[in-house]
Amino acid sequence: MSGDRGEGEGREGERKGKIVIAVRGVDEDLYRRVSALAKETGRTIGELVNESMKLLLGAANTALEKGKELTGTTVVLARTFGEGLKEGFKDALVISDVEELNLSKKDLEEVSKPVVLKNVKKLIIEDDVPYELFKSKVLSITFCDEVVIPSNYPKLEVLSVCRMVKKLMFKDRKV
């Protein structure tokens, strides 16, 4: 990968820690397939590549920490990545790259599509959000440092929509 900045220097995306880079040696067929997948899911190639690199690094770190071979994590990586791709379809509203987000009942009622929340450092679901509304509107929560939920939510049900979440907490206690 080249760290040289391209023509797009100073664009809005770059202010969010993103740069234009050239990657040498990318398999042409893989690139075409990722490009087609990006179009099909309504995401950018950069988003798909970023997500796959995060998953690869996460799997590598886990493998190194536990002393396992990296190849042993390949199945988990493929499954997790496949699930992540399902989250990006055009019928979902994707909210990403936010420092802190508080979601209220009104917020979720105002959207007509399912919501995908990703790369939110701290996500707080307000107490006024009934669990059934949360369940019907929140498709997935990925790459979040901290998710805070009302104390009456079923912990395992919430965790079933979470991927790569560092900490899940009830409003009044740590899970």
Q: What is the pLDDT of residue 21?
A: 84
Q: Which two tokens stand for residue 130?
A: 């009934």
**Domain range enclosing 71:** 12-86
Whether residue 107 has pLDDT greater than 60: yes
Write out pLDDT tens, residues 47-95: 888 888 887 777 666 656 555 555 555 556 666 665 655 545 557 888 9
Calculate mean pLDDT across residues 115-120. Answer: 90
Q: Specify whether 62 is located in the same domain as 117.
A: no
Q: Looking at the domain assignment, is residue 4 inside a domain?
A: no
pLDDT score for 7: 38
5 part of a folded domain: no
**Under 8 Å CB-to-CB from 105, ≥6 apart: which residues?**
126, 128, 129, 130, 133
Verify that 81 and 127 share a domain, yes or no: no
- Which of 59, 86, 113 finishes a domain? 86
Residues 97 and 166 reside in one and the same domain = yes
Closest among 123, 127, 116 to 98, alpha carbons compared? 123
Residues 64 and 113 in one domain: no
* CA 166/CA 144 separation, integer angstroms: 7
Q: What is the mean pLDDT of residues 143-166?
A: 93
My answer on whether 21 and 46 are in the same domain is yes
Q: What are phi and psi of 101, to 5 degrees?
A: -140, 125
**Inter-residue contact 51 to 140 (CB < 8 Å):** no
How many structural domains does the chain have? 2
Domain for residue 156, yes or no?
yes
Same domain, 73 and 103: no
Same-domain status, 104 and 120: yes
**Could you tell me if 140 and 162 lie in one domain?**
yes
Asked if residue 18 has pLDDT above 70, the reply is: yes
Domain for residue 7, yes or no?
no
